[in-house]
Amino acid sequence: MHTNPSHGFGTRAIHAGQTPDPSTGAICTPIYQTSTFVQKSPGVIVEEYDYSRAANPTRTALEANIASLEGAEHGLAFSSGVAATGAVIHLLSAGDHVVLCDDVYGGTNRIFHRVFAQLGIEITLVDMTDLEATKAAFQPNTKLVWIETPTNPMLKIVDIPAVTRLAREHGAITAVDNTFCSPYLQNPLSLGADIVCHSTTKYIGGHSDAIGGVLAMNDPNLHKRLKFIQLSEGAVPGIQECFLFLRSTKTLHVRMDRHCDNAMRIAKHLEQHPKVERVIYPGLESHPQHAVARKQMRAFGGMVTIYLKGGLAESRAMLEKVKIFALAESLGGVESLIEHPAIMTHASVPADQRAKLGIADNLVRLSVGIEDCNDLIADLDQAIG
Ligand code: P1T
């Protein structure tokens, strides 16, 4: 199927990167479950295919599909979101410096501080909603700025054009972890970023049944370097996973609309709840960066973070009482999840940093699914008590 960049998101989601199988007409891209490809003569190969770590047609279709959804020239698929993150950090050399968003997924914090810091990468954590502090964090050896927005779990919104401008002025590249938005809600390359990163495990996959990651970029040199890292490190996705993600992107726009509608209703409901101290949702007027969110996001996503009145006892009681929400790490699936960041997803973040960010015992994170919203609200109400 021919698609071009001017087609709407839904058309590209369903068709980009995919042509009916030439040998059978199968409308879905086949699962090319093969590790190797027969050569016509030594070195004479069909298209680019010689070995599936280097390239595989099902993966090529996924990479082209995601690139189209991000408005990018190139896509690269990885075995997980952190594998995609690690590939970007491998662009650096010992002695290089990173300006890192202070509130990121716990595993992102961990790979920077506990894997790459040992290899000589310097890191400065900064609250990127404070542009003066962000500017002050740059050093002469700063090579990479890593943004996550909305941040996990505090849902802070980083002004992508403003921070990418600072990075360019300092000769650094910018990568944006766009997992919480999916390509449907925000396209960081169009806002000035050099690389966009997703954990496809989340909204792109959408069904809580596969782990994966992707990068998308425009610059051919960055693509060449990252493709070399993908080949050399070998953290590539399995072919079945590529098929599942391709299947899932076809409904991404429809699912995201429902995630956003449900999350907005739940955020507004909980804002009025007598046992809830504070609701953090970028779509609420009360969110400190609501204006920035309006500028760079098409809608406000499916993640809602709340502070309950009380402490660990109150949050533990709620997490044990939910019946439709499932107590589990991860996010972005069709089913609603609930979790305790301090004990679960962000346990690997040092306690002093958690305290500084506000990841407290009464903080609870919701990944609002696409069930009937009335049922979700009733479930939260009975669990909060
Ligand atoms: O789990 P993996 O596919 O490796 O993705 C890592 C990752 C990267 N970026 C963001 C913003 C993420 O939220 C994650 C994974 N997050 C969770 C598992 C979680 O519950 O927050």
Say if 2 falls within a structural domain. no
Within a domain: 3: no
pLDDT digit string, tens, across residues 348-371: 999 999 999 999 999 999 999 999
C-alpha span between 342 and 220 (Å, rounded): 40
Return the pLDDT at 1.
56
- The question of whether 105 is a catalytic residue gets the answer yes
Same domain, 239 and 264: no
Query: Of 249, 282, 301, which residue constitutes the final position of a domain?
Result: 249
Give the pocket of ligand 1 (CB within 6 Å): 80-82, 105, 107-108, 148, 152, 177, 179-180, 199, 201, 211, 213, 329-331, 345
Would you call 177 a catalytic residue per the annotation?
yes
Strand partners for 49:
46
Residue 1 forms part of a structural domain: no
What does the CA dihedral 81, 85, 88, 92 come to, rounded to 10 degrees? -160
User: How far does CA 13 lie from the centroid of its chain?
Assistant: 17
> Do 259 and 243 sit in the same domain of this protein?
no
Looking at the domain assignment, is residue 4 inside a domain? no
Query: pTM above 0.75?
Result: yes
Segments in the chain below pLDDT 70? 1-2
Of 249, 272, 289, which closes a domain? 249
Tell whether 107 and 203 lie within a shared domain: yes
The answer to whether residues 203 and 284 belong to one domain is no
Q: Are 158 and 190 in contact, with CB atoms under 8 Å apart?
A: no
Within-domain flag for 146: yes
Q: Which of 148, 179, 199, 331 to mutate to test the pocket of ligand 1 (most atoms within 8 A of CB)?
A: 199
Q: Are residues 361 and 225 in the same domain?
A: no
CATH code at position 101? 3.40.640.10
- φ and ψ at 39, to 5 degrees? -100, 145
Mutate to test the pocket of ligand 1, among 148, 155, 157, 179 (most ligand atoms within 8 A of CB): 179
For residue 268, the one-letter residue type is K
> Containing H/E element for 228?
helix 220-233
* Domain CATH code at residue 264: 3.90.1150.10
Look up the domain containing 351 and give its range: 252-384
Q: What total of structural domains would you count in the chain?
A: 2
Q: Is 268 a catalytic residue?
A: no
Say if residue 352 is in the same domain as residue 274.
yes
Task: Please confirm, yes or no, whether 323 is among the known catalytic residues.
Answer: no
Do both 242 and 262 map to the same domain?
no
Shared domain check, 305 and 156: no
Report helix, strand or coil for 188.
helix
Are 263 and 315 members of one domain? yes
Using CA positions, which residue lies closest to atom 2 of ligand 1?
A: 81
Q: What is the pLDDT of residue 5?
A: 86
* Rounded distance between C-alpha atoms, residue 173 and residue 83, angstroms: 19
Residue where a domain stops, chosen among 249, 283, 298: 249
Q: Is 79 inside a domain boundary?
A: yes
pLDDT at 55: 98
Answer yes or no: do 100 and 235 share one domain. yes
268 and 243 co-located in one domain: no
Q: Give the pLDDT score at 312.
A: 97
Q: Do residue 220 and residue 266 come from a single domain?
A: no
- Between the two ends of the chain, the Cα-to-Cα distance in Å is 52
- Ligand 1 geometric centre to CA of 25 (Å): 36
What secondary structure does DSSP assign to 129-169, as a single string? T-HHHHHHT--TTEEEEEEESS-TTT-----HHHHHHHHHH
